[in-house]
Amino acid sequence: MAQLELFFQTLISGFLLGGLYALIALGMALIMGVMRVINLAHGDLMMVAMYIAYGLFIFLGIDPYVSVFIAAPTLFLFGAGVQKFLLTPVMKVESILPHNQVILTVGLAMVLSNLATVLFTGNYRSVPVKYASSAWYLTDIWKDSPIELSLSMPWTLSFVIAVIITIALWLFLSKTDTGKSIRATAQDFDASLLMGVNVNRMRMLTFGIGSALVACAGCLFVPIYYLYPSLGRQFTNVGFVITVIGGMGSTNGAVIGGLILGIFESMTASYIGMGWAPVGRFAVFVAVLVFLPGGIVSILRKWRLGK
List interacting residues with another protein (CB under 8 A).
38, 86, 89-90, 93, 95-100, 102-104, 106-115, 117-118, 233, 237, 240, 244, 248, 275-276, 278-279, 282-283, 285-286, 289-290, 293, 301-302, 305-307
Q: Which residues contact 238 (CB under 8 A, 6 or more apart)?
A: 21, 24, 25, 43, 261, 281
> CA 76, 254, 51, 278 torsion: positive or negative?
negative
Nearest CB to another protein, comparing residues 41 and 138: 41
DSSP string, 2-35: HHHHHHHHHHHHHHHHHHHHHHHHHHHHHHHHHH
Q: Which residues contact 87 (CB under 8 A, 6 or more apart)?
A: 35, 37, 101, 104, 203, 207
Minimum distance from residue 281 beta carbon to another protein (Å): 9
Minimum distance from residue 160 beta carbon to another protein (Å): 32
Minimum distance from residue 306 beta carbon to another protein (Å): 6
Distance CA 200, CA 33 (A): 14
Nearest CB to another protein, comparing residues 94 and 144: 94
Distance CA 73, CA 79 (A): 10
Nearest CB to another protein, comparing residues 104 and 138: 104
Nearest CB to another protein, comparing residues 152 and 203: 203
Which residue from 250, 239, 177, 178 is spatially nearest to 214, judged by alpha carbons?
239
Nearest CB to another protein, comparing residues 96 and 194: 96
Nearest CB to another protein, comparing residues 41 and 197: 41
Distance CA 122, CA 114 (A): 10
Question: For 238, phi and psi rounded to 5 degrees?
Answer: -55, -45
- Residue 152's beta-bridge partner residues? 135
Minimum distance from residue 99 beta carbon to another protein (Å): 5
Q: Are 240 and 284 in contact (CB under 8 A)?
A: no
Q: Is residue 136 classed as helix, strand or coil in its secondary structure?
A: strand
Minimum distance from residue 279 beta carbon to another protein (Å): 5
Minimum distance from residue 241 beta carbon to another protein (Å): 8
Nearest CB to another protein, comparing residues 191 and 289: 289
Minimum distance from residue 21 beta carbon to another protein (Å): 17
